[in-house]
Amino acid sequence: MSKRILVVTGGGDCPGLNAVIRGIVKSAKLDGNWEIIGCVESYNGLLKDKIEVMPLTEKEVAGIHVKGGTIIKTTNKGGPFSFPVQLPDGSWVIEDRSQLLLQRLEEMGIEAIISIGGDGSQKISLELAKLGVNIIGVPKTIDNDLSCTDFTFGFQTAVEIATDAVDKLVTTAESHNRVFILEVMGRNAGWIALYTALGGGADVCIIPEIPYDPKIIAEKIATRYKGGEGFCNIVIAEGARDMTGQVTGTAPTAIGDEHIKLGGAGDKLKYELEQLGVQHDIRVTVLGHLQRGGIPIAYDRILATAYGVKAFELVKEKKYGNMVVYNHPEITYVPLKKVVEKPNFVNPKNDSFLCAAKKIGISFGD
């Protein structure tokens, strides 16, 4: 009888998810007696009253490494330990459905789960591992904020998209002598903003790890203009913090969503600069989910495929409770426990790329 692996994609979608799924399915097929099943919409496929799973054979995964999103769908709300349930009166309660999940895994004869997700998903993986579930994690997120790995897949695609945006904004900024603020994703980690500022050649880069002083940014802008001529490009992470540590966004409204909906950091900075008397025309562009959608670049397809292959290999070797990681030049693994200990943030003191950016004059507003 073939052994069954359940594949789950959790959290926000990310370019490369499908390439991981394809890597798992193709390597399992070559190995022999395995059946791969996709759990639809993260764990919800096994947590809802009606089970929703889909077979993942070579037919379903043919050519999907090129496709954005995830063919098995995802959600960043809830999970087995906090599943939102609507009561007949319309109100919502959060239920722990982990026992239901265990029961259904047993009934379906699932040998192991491969959970492709970011920090939230890998915390769930660890909790499930503690309950005895055979589970392997795969690091996903455009934010690149998971530790123990050189890169999460999806990050480089987001950087490519954001760098392309800076390239476009530079020409229009220069033509109109404008200041352009590009707001990019990055909830707590400034990796996308930092790499984009370096790749696109921005003048200012604001990241969550370094609270910014708008006065310093106004001074930097002044150095970019001579007799009214000039332009300035600013990249700001959505999770940017002012000197009081405040972020910009709105409270979550969806049930089961714990996070502030970030947005508006660019507009806030524009307002602050105008209040400080900056006279130049300041325009704000918010890149938003364009950074997450669409075709993964080759780098992410390659990394994601190798992650999928390794995840299957770990299941085969029964090395459960681990997450696949990339430690150049090796695709290897680390215990989930270690991964969730601390996130991967830009070190404001000695990150090599941050230091390089500073050495070419990029201001971080500090």
| Type of residue at 363 | S
Residues with catalytic function: 143
Q: Does 300 participate in binding ligand F6P (rule CB under 6 A)?
A: no
**Minimum distance of ligand F6P from residue 54's CB (angstroms):** 23
For 5, the token pair is: 């692996």
* Interface pick for ligand F6P out of 24, 116, 179, 262 (rule CB under 6 A): 262
Q: What count of other Cβ atoms lies within 10 Å of the Cβ of residue 357?
A: 20
Is 186 a residue that touches ligand F6P (CB under 6 A)? yes
One of 97, 140, 241, 292 touching ligand F6P (CB under 6 A): 292
Backbone dihedral region for residue 255 (phi beyond 0: left; psi -120 to 50: alpha; all else: beta): beta
- For position 280 contacting ligand F6P by CB under 6 A, the verdict is no
CA 352 remoteness from chain centre: 21
76 binds ligand F6P (CB under 6 A): yes
Q: How many CB atoms lie within 10 A of CB 241?
A: 19
Among 104, 140, 187, 280, binds ligand F6P (CB under 6 A): 187
Figure out which of the listed residues 21, 142, 148, 286 binds ligand F6P, where binding follows CB under 6 A. 142
- 185 near ligand F6P, judged by CB under 6 A: yes
State how far the alpha carbon of 202 is from the alpha carbons of 20, 77, 190, in Å: 33, 35, 14
Binding flag, residue 74, ligand F6P (CB under 6 A): no
User: Smallest gap, in angstroms, from Cβ of residue 125 to ligand F6P?
Assistant: 16
Residue 16 in the binding site for ligand F6P (CB under 6 A): no
- What is the distance between the alpha carbons of residues 334 and 282, in angstroms, rounded to a whole number? 46
Distance of closest approach, residue 291 Cβ to ligand F6P, in angstroms: 7
Contacts of 250 (CB under 8 A, 6+ apart): 260, 261, 263
Question: In this complex, which beta carbon is closest to ligand F6P, that of residue 258 or of residue 341?
Answer: 258
Query: Which of residues 134, 141, 152, 363 is near ligand F6P by CB under 6 A?
Result: 141
Q: Which residue, 142 or 278, is less far from ligand F6P as judged by CB?
A: 142
Region of 43-51, 179-187, 269-277, 313-321 interacting with ligand F6P (CB under 6 A): 179-187
How deeply is 306 buried, as exposed, middle or buried, from its count of CB atoms within 10 A (0-12, 13-18, 19+)?
middle
Instruction: List contacts with ligand F6P (CB under 6 A).
Output: 12, 76, 118, 141-143, 185-187, 238, 261-262, 292
